[in-house]
Amino acid sequence: MAEQPPLDAYSQLVAGVAAKLTPKVASLRVPRSGSGMRSGESLGSAVVFTSDGFLLTNAHVVGGAQAGTASFGDGSSAPFTVVGADPLSDLAVLRAAGATPPPADLGEADELVVGQLVVAVGNPLGLAGSVTAGVVSALGRSLPTRSGAAARLIEDVIQTDAALNPGNSGGALADSRARVVGINTAVAGVGLGLAVPVNATSRRIISSLMRDGKVRRAYLGLVSAPAPLSPQLRERFGRSSGLRVVEVVPGGPADRAGLRTGDLLLTAAGQPVEKAQDLQRLMFSEAIGRPLAITVMRNGALVDVIAQPSELVAA
């Protein structure tokens, strides 16, 4: 009998990622409190990312729960507690009470390119250890999130055509070297899945959740939208857009600093400001209560103001 041909290169890559990563992705069962038909449990996925039992998942998977059960591909399971959840990034950190598989390697989503192979590992529809493959179909997407009255954009969201279904949330999106570059978070349509990127910003959020159980953010109290720069400003600053202030919250830090509706934000903390995410990146705990230098264009003149962000409190 003729020898069967080996797997093609694509299949070898996907199978290799699946073999490495599937044991490290847990199936979650999270109690859901409520009355009548609303009580029960929700399903999701999580990725082991430290050797001492920390797991990474989506905040919407755990909701308001404080504990649940994580099951692994080898048949073992362990109770977990929720160390911290951050709805504004849709990330949550869990801690398993029992033994867990070795951790997955975290990659760097900022190095991805459109068309690159990615593999999704999770537990869609409660089917443990499911693997799908596809490509990065777009980068730089934004996903709006909300916690009480506070709203935020998750920036640089990864879009993929790897099939995602309910239960995939919290699972791994990995590159061809089995490095986790995203945490699957949403199904936006047929053939359209979204993942929270693993990058410098999400690493800061994960560290805060592990250390403090929450993420402290700074608050300026303004609403802005991208706006084009005049030809003169384009030549001076070497870019084409800034942020137009469309609303200033009365009594907020921006209002106290003298920022006005119609101001065109050009820089903050000495950094270029072209889109909301540029300002958002500065709004972490180290900015709370500290002077923040902002340069704006107002009535044809450059104006420098000093704001002092306060702490964002979710209502």
Q: What is the pLDDT of residues 215-249, one digit of tens each?
A: 999 989 888 888 999 999 999 989 999 999 998 98
Return the CATH architecture of domain 218-311: Roll (2.30)
Q: Which residues contact 232 (CB under 8 A, 6 or more apart)?
A: none
Could you tell me which CATH number the domain at 105-199 has?
Answer: 2.40.10.10
Of the residues 27, 42, 45, 60, which is catalytic?
Answer: 60
Percent of the chain with pLDDT over 70: 92
Q: What is the pLDDT of residues 187-197, one digit of tens each?
A: 766 678 899 99
Q: What is the pLDDT of residues 100-140, one digit of tens each?
A: 999 999 999 989 999 999 999 998 766 777 899 999 999 88
Q: Is 8 noted as a catalytic residue in this protein?
A: no
User: Which H, E and C letters describe 13-60, residue by residue?
Assistant: HHHHHHHHHHHHEEEEEEEECCCHHHCEEEEEEEEECCCCCEEEECHH
Nearest alpha carbon to residue 268 among 279, 284, 283? 279
pTM, to two decimals: 0.81
Strand runs (DSSP E) across 87-178, as ranges?
91-96, 105-106, 117-122, 130-147, 150-160, 172-174
> What does the alpha-carbon distance between residue 108 and residue 38 come to, in Å, rounded to a whole number?
38
pLDDT, tens digit (0-9, with 9 covering 90-100), for 57-105 = 999 999 989 999 999 988 899 999 999 999 888 999 999 998 999 999 9
CA distance 91 to 182: 11
pLDDT tens profile 37-47: 456 788 899 99
Instruction: Give the Cα separation of 52 and 210 in Å (integer).
Output: 12
* 60 given a catalytic annotation: yes
Asked about 71 being catalytic, the answer comes back as no
Q: Catalytic pick from 27, 86, 90, 263?
A: 90
CATH superfamily membership of 9-96: Trypsin-like serine proteases (2.40.10.10)
Domain boundaries, the chain: 9-96, 105-199, 218-311
Given this chain, do its domains 105-199 and 218-311 carry the same CATH topology? no
Choice among 169, 202, 208, 241 that is catalytic: 169
